[in-house]
Structure 1
Amino acid sequence: MKINPRKTVLALVLGLSLELALGAGHAEVIGHMTAGEPVTEARLAAVPAAERAAWREYLARSQALMAADKAALAAERAAGTPPETAGAHLKGEDGMPLKKPAAWYATAEARHVADNIVSFQTPAGGWGKNVNRSGPARQRGEHYAPVDDDPSGGIISGAKGWSYVGTIDNDATITELKFLARVQAALPGAQADQYRATFAKGVNYLLAAQYPNGGFPQVFPLQGGYHDAITFNDNAIAQVVELLDDVAARKDDYAFVPSDLAGRALAAKERAVKMILATQIVVDGVRTGWCQQHDALTLAPVGARNFEPVAISSGETARLLAVLMKQPSSPPIVSAIDAGAAWLKKVAVYDVEYTRKTDAKDDGGRRLVARPGAGPLWSRLYDVKTMKPVFGDRDKSIHTDVNELSVERRNGYGWYGNGPAATLAAYDKWAAKKRATS
């Protein structure tokens, strides 16, 4: 049989690319996920003495706000309005478009959405997630949040529990605030007063939710479990920082913001940026990226849901770099950006493709396959020690081969993507400008 050297070399290269993308020479389960710890009074004993008072004050504030939220709902229901159904669950859209022409935000349609947002704001000032805000306004006695996590990975009615009652997860609270800002900017005078008041209460909610070290939990008032971790996952904190920047600048839709609130937003943003710098993961003396979650007290990377182990996350790292590139330059910020960009370039993979559901064969699950010329592509998660891709499943197992995950997790989570490419392109421009002005 005649052997084609070029085809042989190509096959070897593609095999190596696929091997690198999968994370190991052979597939294996390398461990099991352990979720992060909640913030509790007992854990504060490990906090430096000088910082404990601020943390105790924070815990007391969280507990008081949750008690007030629950008491308000209970009082409404005791008054004879006991509906226990929540608002419409998200069905593809959140009902809060942010890119319509400015005039649209003065229409009855937009004001209906804004009224829904006002009605669902919790007494603490936040919003639940996964609600289509174009639906009906909240009734008295109706739950503030629509969904509750189920251990199986599904959802159950929020009336059966108290979950995500005020959260920055899934773009919640941030999108509501941005929409209110757009609506009030389109309305004259007093017509916008209630929206401005709701907006101010929402910003104060974010300020109250910020940890003493500058971080933000996924849910506030604190819900416990991994929800108490500093949450970069799905760009939650990145969006908070971007909003605080807008509020502090008092421009365009945010020109109405009072100066004192703008000043507090700026201070909160600066604390958050310092926290971002402090949580960048250092391996063998080299800065890399960020985990999806970091412990609220120790800042160490921690796991979250069963399929989200401790690992460096490419997508969240890319978004945090984008946030840092918008900040005033300082040696620590420049160093963090340069290192994070170098890490993203180092872990990019080529010559592989993560198939779409419609392309999947055999068991119907998406798969990582060899594809000459494809890339760059990034795994969602990279092992902190080996810098190779890792993947979690519902049973808490951690794998080195995405193709070994259950079909549900392969199809239901974004294990590979090309999102960081846009950030790296922006970084190249940022770095060139920095060199030109240095």
Structure 2
Amino acid sequence: MRHPLLVAVLSLATVHFVFAAASRLPAAVLPVITTVAAQQDSTAEKMLAFQRSNGGWPKAVNEVKVDYHHPMSEADLKAARRDAGRTDATIDNNATTREITHLVSAFKTTQNPAYRQAAESGIRYLLKMQQPSGGFPQYYPDAKLYRAQITYNDNAMIKALTVLKAVADKKEDFALVDPALVAPAQKAVDKGVQCILKTQYVQHGKLTAWCAQHDRVTLQPCNARAFELASLSGDE
């Protein structure tokens, strides 16, 4: 059995050797030795690459649907990152809300701070895109054609409110995001609910249903694409 004093001396000698060796390495190599790389989630890494500088995500790029199950090389990821300045962020077809939800979960699993930061940026994007009426447009900041109108189609607005409600309630993984987002998220949910109530269509003096999209100013049902005329919908 080794004497305790001998063990202590050997330990100090080992530490001295490691630091002496490290001091002779190039500076660029030292961070690799002195820090532990953050864990990664392959899907989350793709989401980081597709995130726009305004915090949101696109549903497609050059008319090609964003598919996180599709393998991506490092070159593909770099190409995606170069598109960060695009204004094609949307909440249509689950875009942005699915990324926020996955990134929050990925942060809990990996403790990679980049995932939480990206999710928080996405939440701020939702808060920023909400209109004075409380409604959510299909796209933001792109306001061309019908994209700026309040969008219930494909549950776009409802999914945005669901994410914000989870933030406000600190529900499950959303308890891990910046506490400063809780109050604004609750305010946005309250405004959104009021918008839903105000946009319910009154026909012959009776409350009926909602349209796929409503005018952001008048709150009345409005057209979207040429084949999507203003009409009451049973699936909104």
Task: Tell me, yes or no, whether TM beats 0.5.
Answer: yes
Residue 53 of structure 2 contacts residue 84 of structure 2 at CA under 8 Å; is this kept in 1?
Answer: no
1:196-235 aligned within 5 A: 196-235=116-155
Q: Contact between 1:128 and 1:144, CA under 8 Å: does it hold in 2?
A: no
The one-letter amino acid of 1:116's match is K
Deviations 1:73-109 (A, max 9, x none): xxxxxxxxxxxxxxxxxxxxxxxxxxxxxxxxx986x
Query: Alignment partner for residue 122 of structure 1, among 39, 49, 52?
Result: 52
Q: Shift of residue 192 of structure 1?
A: 2.0
Superposition pairs of residues 3-402 of structure 1, within 5 angstroms: 111-129=41-59, 130-134=65-69, 135-136=71-72, 138-140=77-79, 142-144=82-84, 165-187=88-110, 191-316=111-236
Q: How far apart, in 2, do the equivalents of 1:286 and 1:205 lie?
A: 36
Preserved CA contact (<8 Å) 2:88 2:142: no
How much has 1:305 moved relative to structure 2?
1.1
Deviation, 1:168, is 0.3
CA distance in 2, matches of 1:261, 1:181: 14
- 1:216 is displaced (CA, Å) by 0.9
Larger Rg: 2
CA offset at residue 142 of structure 1? 3.9
Contact 1:144 1:165 in 2 (8 A): no
Post-superposition shift, 1:222? 2.6
Which ranges in structure 2 are unaligned for 5 or more consecutive residues? 1-37, 60-64
How far apart in 2 are the matches of 1:143 and 1:123? 9
TM-score (norm 1): 0.41
TM-score, reference length from structure 2 = 0.75
The CA deviation at 1:144 is: 4.8
8 Å CA contact 2:52–2:83 kept in 1: the answer is no
Q: 1:294–1:227: structure 2 CA closer, same or farther, 3 Å change rule?
A: same
- Partners in 1 of 2:68 and 2:183 — Cα distance? 30
Shift of 1:120: 1.2
Worse-matched range after superposition: 212-221 or 256-265: 256-265
Letter paired with 1:307: F
**Structure 1: which 5+ residue stretches go unaligned?**
1-105, 146-161, 317-438
Higher relative contact order (CA 8 A, sep 6+): 1
TM-align CA RMSD: 2.0
The separation in 2 between residues aligned to 1:233 and 1:297, in whole angstroms, is 18
Give CA-to-partner distance per residue, 1:292-348, whole Å, 9 cap, x none. 0000111110010121111011010xxxxxxxxxxxxxxxxxxxxxxxxxxxxxxxx
**Amino acid in structure 2 at the alignment position of 1:295:** D
Show CA shifts across 1:26-83 (max 9, x none): xxxxxxxxxxxxxxxxxxxxxxxxxxxxxxxxxxxxxxxxxxxxxxxxxxxxxxxxxx
Q: Which letter does structure 2 place at the counterpart of 1:277?
A: L
Q: After superposition, what is the alpha-carbon deviation per residue over 1:180-200, rounded to whole angstroms, capped at 9, x for unaligned? A: 11111112xxx4211000011
Instruction: Tell me the alpha carbon deviations over residues 3-25 of structure 1, each in whole angstroms, 9 at most, x when there is no partner.
Output: xxxxxxxxxxxxxxxxxxxxxxx
